Amino acid sequence: MKHETQQIKYTKGYKYMLEEDALFYTGIILQEDFITKRVIHFKDGWMLIKEGFGWDGCSGPTWDNQTNMRAGLFHDGMYELHRCGFPLEYRCLSDDKLAALMIEDNALPCRAAYYKFAVKKFGKSSALPENQRKILIAPINI
């Protein structure tokens, strides 16, 4: 029996993987649910990030800890939606909620304000569809 090599498809660049579903209230009311492979934004304003979702924590010159992990997950989930066509008009809400969740999780207000400033100033490109992570294939030659 001849053994055939099977290709795999994967993405890289994630530091963390969600071990159970996470639910957040965004307050964004829609006409219908917005569904992607890893994130669902329900029309009633709730967002579900599915178990197995990969994210890289908060970007920039910072460190990940208990005061920004949940906020970073929320923000990366929202930006995943944006990259899949969710209206960019809600990006500011995504950025504002990042800071609000950090404060809720006991971050210093000045730290939360710095993160909010950074994502508002530098984050737009990460929300654009053309910046969806590339799917890689291995092995290439089979």
Query: pLDDT tens digit string along 40-82?
Result: 999 999 999 999 999 988 877 788 999 999 999 999 999 999 9
- Residue 105 maps to a domain: yes
- Residue 77 maps to a domain: yes
- Residue 138 maps to a domain: no
By residue range, what is the domain housing residue 42? Answer: 14-132
- Residue 31 maps to a domain: yes
Count of domains forming the chain: 1
Residues with Cβ within 8 Å of 40's Cβ and at least 6 positions away in sequence, in order, are 33, 34, 47, 48, 50
Helix axes 91-104 and 69-83, enclosed angle (nearest 10): 170
- Residue 6 maps to a domain: no
- Residue 100 maps to a domain: yes
Q: What is the pTM of this model?
A: 0.88
- Residue 1 maps to a domain: no
- Residue 5 maps to a domain: no
Q: What pLDDT digit, counting tens, does each position of 82-130 carry?
A: 999 999 999 999 999 999 999 999 999 999 999 999 999 998 888 998 8
